[in-house]
Chains A and B, each alone.
Chain A
Amino acid sequence: MTTQPATAPGTLVRSTHALGVLCGVCAGVWLGAAEAPTKLVNSGLSPYAISLCMVAGVFVARWSLPTLLKGTRSVFADLSRSRQLIPFAVLAGMLWAVANTLTVFAIRDVGLAIAFPLWNTNSLVGILWGRLLFGELKGAGAANVAKVLLGSTAIVAAAVMLGFSTMHQNSAHPAHALHGILAAAGASLLWGSMYIPYRKAYLSGMNPLSFVTVFTVGELGTMLALVLVFDGGTHAAVFHSPAVEPMLFWLFLGGFVWVIGDIFQQFATKYLGIGRGIPLSNTNQLWGLAWGALVFGELAHNRESMLLVVGGSLVMILGAIAVSSAIATARESHNTVSAIERECGRYQLDQDAVKRAFDGQSSDTAASGRAWWDWLILAIVTAVFVILAAKARVPSLAMNFAWTGVLTVVLVASAVACLWGLWRTTRFS
């Protein structure tokens, strides 16, 4: 079905690079917006409970828009071809859930001011793994290495500046400072290492939509286990409290926005690699702040932090431009091909098919198209969201609806641009 025109290697690298940059930026927009619906939740439930509900939303939402993009037949055919990658995707979901929980303890023990910069270094950990395990940036040339390293560091620094601008209080427990630092460093290590399975999957020819499907299973299973072990077992409030039902819609909505952002992040990792894709999607801090400040008025009484906001935003944009402009050289692309060959040799994969899939040129005619059950799945997921919306409690929180409209238009426009680019260039391969 996906018959791509013959393309010169250099042109192909440039076109997939541009597509990857678009996906990375779009991932930042969506991952940043995912925080917005959760601001409407004020239930007094534990962070474990909130995380479990949001991850359940992610799991359900995975079967909404993504099912429309590529039917389940294609996803399961891909998973069946790449069974060896299923444990990797589950493991990535497990890493995400534990890292997310560690951040809760880090904030509790040392406060956001110390914890946030520490766990934000995850993209630098990712760059290190990308270099050591997949030969990313190997043979890239001094200019490209400098662009990626300085750009990523600038994005981390900017995220810290933007984070500081919204910090009003420090609820730290000084007695547990070491625990808090440990937890924040752990979250950075776990999130940074989560990108190993991401990259592995794409170097083996897997489709990002298939990877996300299994990833959400690992994420939900681990979050459920954490609630059972650490949050009261089957007696946990999340299973019994009447406060859960009215807030579920907002958390599921947050999950929906998050999973769309994550899919764009996966495509960015596929087409740019860890070193370039993850720093770009980490610009989500900028968009999270935009929602907080413009829609929820979080900076209204904190005018003195404007310098941090403007400075942080500029530094982040410059960092993103630096990373985006580091197009892989022929020597670096050759190392990527070597990494693909390693995977094909190890798992006896069809090298040509994997290379085509990696370039977004896979053809799965037999498994393309939507089946009747895809429409049934879509109808069920839509019904879940409609039922939860009907039961949702709208909190009496001051919101700027004009800015909500503007940012929603940006959100939708970025997704349309990205989906169009993915469809035109790769047919979502």
Chain B
Amino acid sequence: MVAQSQEGAEAGMKTTSKIWCVLTDSHFLIPLAVFVVGVAMLIAVH
């Protein structure tokens, strides 16, 4: 039981750290920032 919950916690941490890796990745942040700029432009020109 304990081993299982430890494995679960590790898996959970792994997922969390992967999400963190994505959210702090410049390859994600740059296109995301460009997308936000694009939406702002769309609102401005609409």
A interface residue numbers (CB < 8 A to B)? 83-84, 87-88, 91-92, 94-95, 98-99, 101-102, 105, 109, 129, 133, 176, 179-180, 182-183, 186, 189-190, 193-194, 196-197, 200, 226, 230, 346-347
**Given A84-B21, A190-B34, A347-B18, 10 further pairs, Cβ under 8 A:** A88-B28, A102-B45, A129-B30, A133-B26, A182-B45, A183-B41, A183-B42, A186-B42, A189-B37, A193-B34
Is the interface on chain B under 10, 10 to 19, 20 to 34, or 35 or more residues? 20 to 34
Known contacts A98-B38, A190-B38; A197 and B21 CB within 8 A of each other: no
Contact A105 B46 (CB under 8 A): yes
Known contacts A102-B45, A105-B45, A183-B45; A200 and B38 CB within 8 A of each other: no
How many angstroms from the CA of A51 to the CA of B12 in the assembled complex? 40
How many angstroms from the CA of A41 to the CA of B26 in the assembled complex? 41
Known contacts A98-B38, A190-B35; A87 and B28 CB within 8 A of each other: yes
Q: Interface residues of A: mostly helix, strand, loop or mixed?
A: helix
Chain B: minimal CB distance from A22 (Å) = 27
Contact B45 A133 (CB under 8 A): no
In the complex, what residue of chain A is closest to B24 when comparing beta carbons? A346
Q: Interface residues of B: mostly helix, strand, loop or mixed?
A: helix
B1-46 interface (Cβ within 8 A of A): 18, 21-22, 25-28, 30-32, 34-35, 37-39, 41-42, 44-46
Contact A196 B46 (CB under 8 A): no
Contact partner of B38 among A84, A95, A346, CB < 8 A?
A95
How many angstroms from the CA of A98 to the CA of B46 in the assembled complex? 12
Can you report 25 A-B residue pairs in the complex whose CB atoms are below 8 A from each other? A84-B22, A87-B22, A88-B27, A91-B32, A95-B38, A98-B35, A98-B38, A105-B46, A109-B45, A133-B27, A182-B44, A183-B45, A186-B38, A189-B38, A190-B34, A190-B35, A190-B38, A193-B34, A196-B27, A196-B31, A197-B28, A197-B31, A200-B27, A230-B42, A346-B25
In the complex, what residue of chain A is closest to B19 when comparing beta carbons? A84
In the complex, what residue of chain B is closest to A106 when comparing beta carbons? B45
How many angstroms from the CA of A105 to the CA of B45 in the assembled complex? 7
How many angstroms from the CA of A393 to the CA of B40 in the assembled complex? 38
Contact B34 A101 (CB under 8 A): no
